[in-house]
Amino acid sequence: MSLATKLRRVRKPPPEGWDLIEPTLEQFEVKMREAETEPHEGKRKTEINWPIFRIHHQRSRYIYDMYYKKAEISRELYEFCLTAKFADAALIAKWKKQGYENLCCVKCVQTRDSNFGTACICRVPKSKLDADRVIECVHCGCHGCSG
């Protein structure tokens, strides 16, 4: 779905400052389209969605940084982006909590999606794992987001 289509779906004009973030969001939209149409022969079933998860994370992190870290966009524009689903509100809510500042995706902290009712392997601190062991999240391909 293109950026213009998402804007029409919201049915109200974007707030002041939209022209500041629009080019970057357009670039993320192009990357997302490329990731969706990328051939998936030879990949595992779980690996197909990894590029989509990464782009989704980058886009949400961009809007989060523009509002909370750099303070370059207004609260009205931030709320507009969340309402129009340009950013993941649940993921941003987790980033605000201590210990989840670098969380890759919300799926990694949902215990119902794991076999043993625990968080994902990428949430285990690297100091607690073997140094020569390569970890890779099944959900999004993350190599460790706990720090």
User: Looking at the structure, do residues 135 and 86 belong to the same domain, yes or no?
Assistant: no
Residues 87 and 135 in one domain: no
* Burial tier of 12 (Cβ tally within 10 Å: 0-12, 13-18, 19+): exposed
pLDDT tens digits for 47-58? 888 899 899 999
pTM of the model: 0.86
98-121 residue pLDDT tens:
988 888 888 777 777 777 777 777
Full residue range of the structural domain in which residue 92 is found = 3-96
Q: Are residues 81 and 119 in the same domain?
A: no
Q: For the chain, give the number of residues.
A: 147
What are the tokens at 44? 């595992």
